[in-house]
Amino acid sequence: MATPALHPSARIERGSSSHLDAVMTVMDSAFGNRFGEAWTRSQLSGILPMAGVILTLAWDGADAIGFALSRTVADEAELLLIAVRPDRHRQGVGRQLLDQFFDDAQARPVARVHLEVRDGNPAMGMYHSAGFAPVGRRQNYYRGTDGQSFDAITLARTL
């Protein structure tokens, strides 16, 4: 199945610490506090200046609709966060951010990419279709606000 096209006015751009408000707005709408997956503003501002860290944003006009945060160390890259506003799900935004992550990794060059996702996350289908496969599991890694725990699934893909 083909990846849906982005809305014609959407664009993918490199971000910086000046975009923290936009990132936090997307993160709050995409993650909320239900599963403990979101990062704080302090965590984001602390990692952005580090070597090998890339922030990518998806924009529709002046509105941020998604973002991806990754880091590269040696010949491996990790997708630390990816989020899309819920009203823009299933429109190809997440896949385009994921494809940009692959492009950035290959430009470094990177041999393998990783990510970690909550078991049951609906984005798992996108990750599998992009070539990721499970390589590990962290039991009870995420905790929901209701006290329920969720495993974290580690996925990897060779480039």
Q: Where would I find the H helices in 8-157? A: 20-30, 41-47, 93-107, 124-129
Quick one: how far is CA 142 from the chain centroid?
A: 16
Query: Which of 37, 78, 127, 142 does the annotation list as catalytic?
Result: 127
127 is catalytic: yes
Residue 101, phi then psi, degrees to nearest 5: -60, -45
116 is catalytic: yes
Which residues on adjacent β-strands are paired with residue 114? Answer: 78, 156
Query: Which of 13, 116, 141, 142 does the annotation list as catalytic?
Result: 116
Judged by DSSP in three states, 54 sits in strand
Hey, which residues are catalytic here? 116, 127
